[in-house]
Amino acid sequence: MCVALPGLAISTDQGQLTGRGLDGFYRAGRRVLSRCQIRVAGREPVPVQARMTAADRARFVGTLRSSPQAGPDPDVVIERTRHADGTERITLHSAAVRPLRLPVEVALGTDLADLGAIASGNPGRELPATVHDSGLRWSSARGGSAVTADPPPVDALASAGLLRWEFALPPGGSASIELRVRPDGAGPVRAAGRAATSPLATARAAGDDPGVEALLGTSIEDLQALLLRDPAHPSDVHLAAGAPWRCGLAPAEALAAARMALPLGTRLAAGTLRTLARTQLPCQSPQSGMIPAPIRDAGTHLPPGCTGTEATLLFPTLLAEARRWGLPDPEIEELLPAAERCLTWLRTTVGDGTYLPDPHPGGPVRCETQAHAHRAALLGADLLDACGRPGGAELRQWAGALRTAFRADFWLDDLGGGRPAAARVPDGRLVPHLGAAAVHLLDTGLLGGGEQALGLLDKVQTEQLARLLGGPAMDSGWGLRGLGVKETGHSPFGHRSGAVRVHETALAVAGLAAAGYEKEASGLLRGVLAAAAAFGHRLPDMYAGERRTDGGAPLPHPAACRPAATAAAAGVLLLTTLTGIRPDAPAGTVTLRPVRSAPLGEIVLTGLRVAGAPFSVRVSRLGLAMVEEAADGLQLRA
């Protein structure tokens, strides 16, 4: 999967694009080329290697014996470099001791189908081609696309979709063909992540564990590949949810990923917030101040949830924390009215009650929704106070009442020590299943002076939740299951009912570490890092929650996005959690609360951004943290 949105190229490890399945080059969700098959001297190359060389590029190597009498060794090596921008370079290398004359054919075709139709098994027929300049062209009512070749082919057969060349290679010589596919009227892909001024710092990791360097590097590459521009405001960028299924804006996921990526700078957060502020429902709307977003499956025990609620609560949270990481005051002032409208929506929706209700009448009061609302209230109050705006005291008062009620109303006592309920239904009954949504109770958010905000659970309840999350029912060995293995409806492939979701696992690691439960945090951390290595350090958003075994590997989920914004940003959060960076840029301080057990040994992170300047930190094998680079005047707080 080569990604540089809006460009995308999907291939099997054979290298040949056959037109079957999802194979092809895509632009903005349309398949502009589905088939690209090479034959050299009348035969297909034997594939020997396929690997990603960057988030937007893949390299395929095949070999060929041009003459069966030449012995067992191949005498031609065919290298193909495929790029998400619609470019493919084919290079033939001769390993023969005699001159070779090699006829080359490339068979091309496309259906110009939408990705959604292809995914549902209805791509349509391949379209007839016409000869076009130095290549071929296809057209339909949906538009058209063309492939041009350099050097031009010696022959082009539209009826068969064939381009032909003939190369004479001396011993050790090589020859190349470059194919460029473009939709009609479109120029080269202008990927936001390839701009000279990226919103993400090019941070690096090093240390005793060799996987940390690859994980951080791949995570940043994938975040770059998923960047999109707001068409009406090109200077504002945000993250698409993931490829190939969700190459557009998903508000809750975009905000969550921008929040986890704050150690790479605040520009992504600012662009995401500005983009979503423009979608906020107007004052005359019944849901004034809400950020609209689609519903999302919630598993086997609860009806679908509204991601608009989550996005609306994440908006002031992200703005408040971006301020702590160094978002400039003018940008905070610009975004503050939208954050205030989100907080007003929260208080208006709660009304005289205690809990934030489900947006659908008769829906359940969800545990994670109360966690989002409580965090938004406390961080929002902190933001309002800092900016001299009213409303902070009212938000804190409501958050206090919510804490008192939640600790009594949402806790289920049992012989195992109890657990938080997943939800309360309108008649007061509790939905008792234990799932990964409970990790949001540990995600309290960052306040001033490096302090974490209060959580909804008390100390005893938090300790019990930590024990449950670190236990075998929830910890698969590869990360946190979406639903405990003993719960009814559990499935290792269930989106929200048993699969490992990387975002929630990272939140669990960060929340457990912040609360002092390093053993449980370290176990989950090692599991997801082992999974990352199995996935070439490009984590999907989810994978099967099967129990880890010696010599095993995590099972991919067929509906997962890879790369995915939340999974890539989770890689950043996992590694920065080890260093415990808690900045307070307005106060000119930074606090370090590293994981003292140093589960990965020594780790060094360089090129992060705090207060708008490079920031580097080292954690020793003894769990001691040291700042190695920081903004002038930034003080280390004890």
| Residues 117 and 258 reside in one and the same domain | no
Q: What does the pLDDT look like over 48-103, one tens digit per residue?
A: 999 999 999 999 999 998 876 667 889 999 999 999 999 999 999 998 889 999 99
| Residues 499 and 545 reside in one and the same domain | yes
Extract the tokens encoding 23. 């194979």
Check residue 314 and give its pLDDT. 98
Give residue 322's domain range: 194-629
| Residues 484 and 612 reside in one and the same domain | yes
| Residues 136 and 199 reside in one and the same domain | no
440 lies in some domain:
yes
The closest alpha carbon to 595, from 510, 506, 469, belongs to 510
- Among 155, 189, 223, identify where a domain stops: 189
Check residue 400 and give its pLDDT. 98
| Residues 523 and 546 reside in one and the same domain | yes
| Residues 169 and 249 reside in one and the same domain | no
Extract the tokens encoding 481. 């299951």
**530 residue type, one letter:** A
Extract the tokens encoding 30. 């349309």
For 184, the 3-state DSSP assignment is coil
| Cβ–Cβ under 8 Å, residues 308 and 356 | no
- What CATH number did the domain enclosing 108 receive? 2.70.98.40
d(CA 81, CA 91): 9
634 lies in some domain:
no
| Residues 463 and 532 reside in one and the same domain | yes
What residue has token string 């088939």? 35
The DSSP bridge pattern shows strands 589-592 and 635-637 to be parallel
- What CATH number did the domain enclosing 424 receive? 1.50.10.10
> What is the pTM assigned to this prediction?
0.94
For 219, the 3-state DSSP assignment is helix
For 70, the 3-state DSSP assignment is helix
| Residues 435 and 414 reside in one and the same domain | yes
d(CA 522, CA 517): 9
The closest alpha carbon to 526, from 583, 455, 577, 460, belongs to 577
635 lies in some domain:
no
Check residue 475 and give its pLDDT. 97
637 lies in some domain:
no
| Residues 175 and 213 reside in one and the same domain | no
- List 411's β-bridge partners, or say none: 420
Extract the tokens encoding 482. 């979406």
- Among 139, 172, 189, identify where a domain stops: 189
d(CA 147, CA 180): 5
CA 405 vs CA 158, 400, 460, 515: distances in Å:
72, 9, 16, 22
Helices 307-325 and 367-386, interaxial angle, to 10°?
Answer: 40
367 lies in some domain:
yes
| Cβ–Cβ under 8 Å, residues 611 and 266 | no
636 lies in some domain:
no
- List 636's β-bridge partners, or say none: 590
Q: What does the pLDDT look like over 16-43, one tens digit per residue?
A: 999 999 999 999 999 999 999 999 999 9
The DSSP bridge pattern shows strands 246-249 and 635-637 to be unpaired
DSSP, residue by residue, 582-614: EEEGGGTEEEE---TT-TTSSEEEEEEEETTEE
Expressed in percent and rounded to 5, the helix, strand and coil fractions of the chain are 30, 30, 40
| Residues 373 and 494 reside in one and the same domain | yes
| Cβ–Cβ under 8 Å, residues 595 and 514 | no
- Among 189, 218, 251, identify where a domain stops: 189
Check residue 70 and give its pLDDT. 65
SS3 assignment for 408-422 = HHCEECCCCCCEECC
d(CA 176, CA 583): 51
| Residues 177 and 219 reside in one and the same domain | no
112 lies in some domain:
yes
Specify the DSSP class assigned to residue 361.
Answer: T
- List 105's β-bridge partners, or say none: 39, 164
Q: What does the pLDDT look like over 186-220, one tens digit per residue?
A: 777 677 766 667 899 999 999 999 999 999 999 99
- Sign of torsion, CA 530 561 445 408? negative
| Residues 95 and 208 reside in one and the same domain | no
- List 501's β-bridge partners, or say none: 542
pLDDT along the chain (638 residues), means of 10: 95 94 94 97 94 96 83 91 97 93 96 91 92 93 94 95 96 96 81 76 96 97 96 94 94 98 98 98 90 91 93 98 98 98 97 92 94 98 98 98 97 94 94 96 96 97 98 97 94 94 98 97 97 96 96 94 97 98 97 96 98 97 96 92
152 lies in some domain:
yes
| Cβ–Cβ under 8 Å, residues 610 and 634 | yes
